């Protein structure tokens, strides 16, 4: 399959009063046509910043791309002019945001907000664009689209607003859709509806999706591949099965282990000890080493390279080095992994 998007050694920094914060420190991944790549990681790991950089929507003037390439159909987005990016945004690459309550303009009719990119990118007349907007509202399963198209965002519920946001993102049939925690602000039943909707639409349009989340249950439900980010780097990347059933990086173990499952009996939730490193002064060696109970001596001195586990599975941990001791994930994590596997396979099984 062809690569829609190829990110090579992407580095993003923010200039602050205290100095340069290295939010993304050399990220590599690719996105194939029609696939869903989930990026997971805790707050501050650089997932959102990475995708904002893809759209060149980093907050100005403090955020900037320091290094790297973002190849979209072979074109390096880092080198494009602002004008060029404006033509691309909303047409080839669009974005769905986290909070539907704030991501729609409160003083503009929903229809106009959808029509805007149609008129801009596809040179439609207002009449055509309105027709298409109604179709899009229908596509995202909003009842009475003819009536709703003339309403304002405050007349919609949270879930309905997120459908509108999705309709805006889909308006020009984008090749890449970036969803930045699209279900985090919604309650669980609405979450499931929105996820189903996104999956249906992806099937219909063959869009590539980058799905940012910190909810591993959601990942198991929607993604083909998973990238785990920590301290501005991808520490493990592979297919959902690779990462969920055969995780290699201790941080991934920690993430999987701290996820509650329906049948867990422990009263207390597991948490990864410590806090993420300060990206103003990134630590030497593996950024996770100080929180890692399995850390080797070399972890504190040298950064691990990406080790290949299988054809699709890569992880950056010295534990995969041929001289490293053979360490298995802790038993409690293994148990939870089984639990996640059973929760995760549920919805997937229903689907087929």
Which residues contact another protein by CB under 8 A? 55, 57, 86-91, 94-95, 97, 99, 102-108, 113, 116-117, 120-121, 152, 154-155, 165, 168-169
Least CB distance to another protein at residue 300 (A):
39
Distance of closest approach, residue 200 Cβ to another protein, in angstroms:
22
Considering beta carbons, is residue 185 or 201 the nearer one to another protein?
Answer: 185
Q: How far is the CB of 104 from another protein (least distance, A)?
A: 6
Q: How far is CA 41 from CA 115, 203, 207, 226, 269, in A?
A: 34, 26, 23, 10, 18
User: Closest CB to another protein among 104 and 237?
Assistant: 104
Residue placing its CB nearer to another protein in the complex, 103 or 289: 103
Instruction: Give min distance, CB of 30 to another protein, in A.
Output: 22
Q: Which is nearer to another protein, 100 or 217 (CB)?
A: 100
Instruction: State the minimum distance, in angstroms, from the CB of residue 82 to another protein.
Output: 8
Query: Phi-psi category of 181—alpha, beta or left, where left has phi over 0 and alpha has psi -120 to 50?
Result: left
CB of 220 to another protein, least distance (A): 27
C-beta closer to another protein: residue 120 or 335: 120
Nearest distance, CB of residue 105 and another protein, angstroms: 4
**CB-wise, 201 or 234, nearer to another protein?**
201
Q: To which residue do tokens 């597991």 refer? A: 270
CB of 149 to another protein, least distance (A): 14
Residue found by looking up tokens 């991934």 in the block: 252
Q: Which is nearer to another protein, 106 or 349 (CB)?
A: 106
Nearer to another protein, 86 or 202 (CB): 86
């Amino acid at each position: 399959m062809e690569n829609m998007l190829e990110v090579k050694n992407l580095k993003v920094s923010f200039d602050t009063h205290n100095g340069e914060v290295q939010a993304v420190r050399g990220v590599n991944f690719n996105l194939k046509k029609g696939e869903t790549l989930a990026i997971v990681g805790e707050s501050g790991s650089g997932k959102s910043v990475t995708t904002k950089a893809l759209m060149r929507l980093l907050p100005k003037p403090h955020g900037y791309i320091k290094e790297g390439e973002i190849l979209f159909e072979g074109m390096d987005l880092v080198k494009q002019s602002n004008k060029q990016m404006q033509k691309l945004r909303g047409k080839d690459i669009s974005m769905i945001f986290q909070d539907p309550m704030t991501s729609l303009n409160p003083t503009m009719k929903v229809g106009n907000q959808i029509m805007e990119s149609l008129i801009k990118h596809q040179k439609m007349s207002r009449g055509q664009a309105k027709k298409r907007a109604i179709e899009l509202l229908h596509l995202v399963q909003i009842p009475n689209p003819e009536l709703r198209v003339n309403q304002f965002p405050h007349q919609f519920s949270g879930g309905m607003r997120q459908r509108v946001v999705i309709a805006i993102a889909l308006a020009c049939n984008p090749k890449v859709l970036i969803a930045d925690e699209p279900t985090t602000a919604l309650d669980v039943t609405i979450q499931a509806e929105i996820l189903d909707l996104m999956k249906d639409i992806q099937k219909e349009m063959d869009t590539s999706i980058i799905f940012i989340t910190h909810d591993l249950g959601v990942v198991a439900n929607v993604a083909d591949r998973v990238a785990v980010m920590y301290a501005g780097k991808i520490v493990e990347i592979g297919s959902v099965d690779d990462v969920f059933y055969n995780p290699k990086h201790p941080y991934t173990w920690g993430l999987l282990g701290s996820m509650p499952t329906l049948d867990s009996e422990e009263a207390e939730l597991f948490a990864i000890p410590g806090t993420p490193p300060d990206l103003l002064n990134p630590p030497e060696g593996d950024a996770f080493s100080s929180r890692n109970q399995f850390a080797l001596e070399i972890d504190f001195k040298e950064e691990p390279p990406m080790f290949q586990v299988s054809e699709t599975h890569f992880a950056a941990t010295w534990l995969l080095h041929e001289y490293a001791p053979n360490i298995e994930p802790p038993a409690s994590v293994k148990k939870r992994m089984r639990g996640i596997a059973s929760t995760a396979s549920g919805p997937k099984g229903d689907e087929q």
